[in-house]
Amino acid sequence: MSLIVDPVVAWFAQNARPLPWRDPHCSPWGVLVSEVMLQQTPVVRVEPRWREWMALWPTPADLAAAGTAEVLRAWDRLGYPRRALRLHQCARVVVDRHDGELPTAEADLLALPGVGTYTAAAVTAFAHGRRAVVVDTNVRRVLARALTGTALPAPSLTAAEMRAAGSVVPAGDLASTRWNAAVMELGALVCTARSPRCGVCPIADACAWRLAGMPADAHAHRRRRQTWAGTDRQVRGRVMALLRSADHPLPVHLLEEVSADAEQRERALAGLVRDGLVVRHEDPATDDAVSYRLPD
């Protein structure tokens, strides 16, 4: 595997982006915050929000002491706001169970709210500098092409992929951490999904996909194309934007602008209430009996 690992790590040493969570002085908590924010969200949107977030709440104790509405307002338009709630809950658990210090054991990380297999492995590698098998979308794509000659991996991560990824990760802590960061960066900047830059790829000559003639995506028929305009998710985002900008509960009629479809609007509101992102309030004594606000 050195034919792949060594060139990618050398490439990374010359081409890595100077992201703030890669700074050696970044705290483990800062790394965790970055990993949660980066889920399904590009770096260009995450970096400014991460800097603002860490300026407000540099430690788990700082975030744990914040109000939920304040946290959701700070999350702003980063998307998938349930991640903000999970981070808030995570901070409180770290304070209550770990004396405010992010745990180092993967089992303890996995027990934190909002931390799954990928995030626990990423924190183990990038925050604590220990060997872990870190597999995200970028890593899956690089390894699918380089090792198996597949244009893009299957829609869902398989056990075989995890075994293959684990076989490539170097044995030592330092070497494995460098590899994990390097292969993720290669997937983000060079081995991209739609327009791979094979001409500058450090492992182009060893890539099974290129050697096979760059066959088309065999799983294209299985992929769901995500839309945005007119979806419930877009309506949820509009509701959250209105509530973040309000300093008082908004009566339901002021939320009608989020969607002309009353059924969709009610569905979005009900989902936000169910997810703990919005609070529904009823006051029969007023003209506006039903109103909505961010949670305290």
**Residues acting as catalytic residues:** 35
CB 283 within 8 A of CB 291: yes
Of 55, 56, 57, 35, the C-alpha closest to 46 is 35
Distance set, CA 90 to CA 24, 32, 119 (Å): 23, 10, 13
Contact yes or no for 108/98 (Cβ under 8 A): yes
Query: Per the structure block, which two tokens stand in for 263?
Result: 């059924």
* Listed residue (36, 16, 18) closest to 186, CA to CA: 16
Nearest one of 255, 257, 266 to 232, comparing CA atoms: 266
- Dihedral angle over CA of 75, 237, 137, 217, nearest 10: -160
CB-based burial, 63-89: b 16+ in 10 Å, e otherwise: bbeeebbbbbebbbebbbbebbbbbbb
| H helix runs in 127-231, sequence order | 137-143, 159-168, 173-189, 208-211
Does residue 16 contact residue 22 with C-beta atoms inside 8 Å? yes
| Cα 157 from Cα 139, distance rounded (Å) | 11
Phi-psi region of 76 (alpha: psi -120 to 50; beta: other; left: phi over 0): left
Residues 175/181/184/187 CA torsion (nearest 10 deg): -80
The closest of 116, 131, 68 to 276, measured between CA atoms, is 68
